[in-house]
Amino acid sequence: MAIELADIRFHYPSRAEHTVLNVPSWSLKTGTQAFVYGPSGGGKSTLLGLLSGLLSPNSGQVRVLGQCLDTLSNRQRDQFRAANIGYVFQQFNLMPYLNAIDNVLLATQFSQSNNRGGKENEVKVLFNALNIPENEWQIPCRDLSVGQQQRVAIARALINKPKLLIADEPTSSLDQANSDAFMKLLMPMAADNNMTLLFVSHDHSLSSYFTSVESLGDFNQVEGINNAS
């Protein structure tokens, strides 16, 4: 199994009365290409935070690629994420003052090989496949368009060929052509590398690419918004 959740409950510390996630059980088989949709505020980004170990549940177990995240120290969790998970954040989380190439290379610093030149070539191959024009590669990411920043964030998530790719509204800022380019790059790459995909979005239009399509409300048992979807 790529993902196994058991008896998960989560609320943010500042809002103890507001249970965001109550997931008795949910799993994804290795190699699944899964799309989970739900309304804004329904807990999609929170779910991805738990799966990546950036958030910890108040109770329950999160197991990713066979590893129980709550038995790891913070440092071990960071290493586990760097080695195994590609994460396209909803807000991208790029370093604004670094250029596109350096933002992606930053994600390779935990990998075994120290071959910067080789890695840089791989970055350029990804940038070309994602239609990021060469004259945008060397300027600070804060000066790129939002859609270009999103494609840099996608390249950063893919550069280590992660076993699990999780993506939070990964095409929200892309036009149709770039959204299609991304999906056409991703799907064969996922299949070739036995990569498990989990995309979350409120927008159903990407769902046709995926082998599994679920509503978050189908496995998140909180009252209110999710159950309405």
Ligand X SMILES: Nc1ncnc2c1ncn2[C@@H]1O[C@H](COP(=O)(O)OP(=O)(O)OP(=O)(O)O)[C@@H](O)[C@H]1O
Residues that bind Mg ion (CB under 5 A): 44-45, 90
80-99: contacts with ligand X (CB under 6 A)? 90
Told to check if 217 binds ligand X by CB under 6 A, we report no
Binding map of ligand X across residues 44-73, x = CB under 6 A, - = no contact: xxx---------------------------
Closest CA to 220 of 4, 8, 55, 53: 8
* Minimum separation from the CB atom of position 15 to ligand X (A): 5
Contact 44, 55 (CB under 8 A): no
Told to check if 38 binds ligand X by CB under 6 A, we report yes
User: Which amino acid would we find at residue 29?
Assistant: K
Calpha distance 28→18 (Å, rounded): 26
CB closer to ligand X, 150 vs 160: 150
* Torsional sign, CA 36, 167, 33, 78: negative
Calpha distance 93→122 (Å, rounded): 21
* Minimum separation from the CB atom of position 216 to ligand X (A): 7
CB closer to Mg ion, 120 vs 214: 214
* Minimum separation from the CB atom of position 42 to ligand X (A): 4
From the number of C-beta atoms within 10 Å of its C-beta (0-12, 13-18, 19+), residue 138 rates as exposed
Told to check if 5 binds ligand X by CB under 6 A, we report no
Q: Which of 20, 64, 141, 190 binds ligand X (CB under 6 A)?
A: 20
Calpha distance 29→195 (Å, rounded): 11
With H, G, I as helix, E, B as strand and everything else as coil, classify residue 80. Answer: helix
Residues that bind ligand X (CB under 6 A): 12, 14-15, 20, 38, 40-46, 90, 202
